[in-house]
Amino acid sequence: MRIADLENKSSAVEGFGYKQLLFEPIVGGGVFTAASVPLIFYLGPVPVLILAAILTLFWGVMGVFYFGWK
């Protein structure tokens, strides 16, 4: 972030920090990763794929509405 915005004129660093608060514990921290195998076993691969796609779209839309499309 610092290489692309040397003078810290954009809000990219702040936005990245907020993203990390939710993204890392769930995806990077392994909550969804650990739950994926049981979810696929009980629900099947297609419903889990649809769930993951819905979550991805939801957070993408939330990010665009909150931070704007830049």
Average pLDDT taken over every residue of the chain: 80
64 pLDDT higher than 80: yes
The 3-state secondary structure of 3-50 reads CCCCCCCCCHHHHHHHHHHHHHHHHHCCHHHHHHHHHHHHHCHHHHHH
What 8-state DSSP symbol labels residue 69? -
* 16 within 8 A of 1, measured Cβ to Cβ: yes
36: Cα separation from own chain's centroid: 16
pLDDT one-digit tens code per residue, 20-38: 676 776 666 677 778 889 9
10 pLDDT higher than 70: yes
Q: What is the pLDDT of residue 9?
A: 73
Dist CA 28 CA 36 (whole Å): 13
State mean pLDDT over 6-33: 70
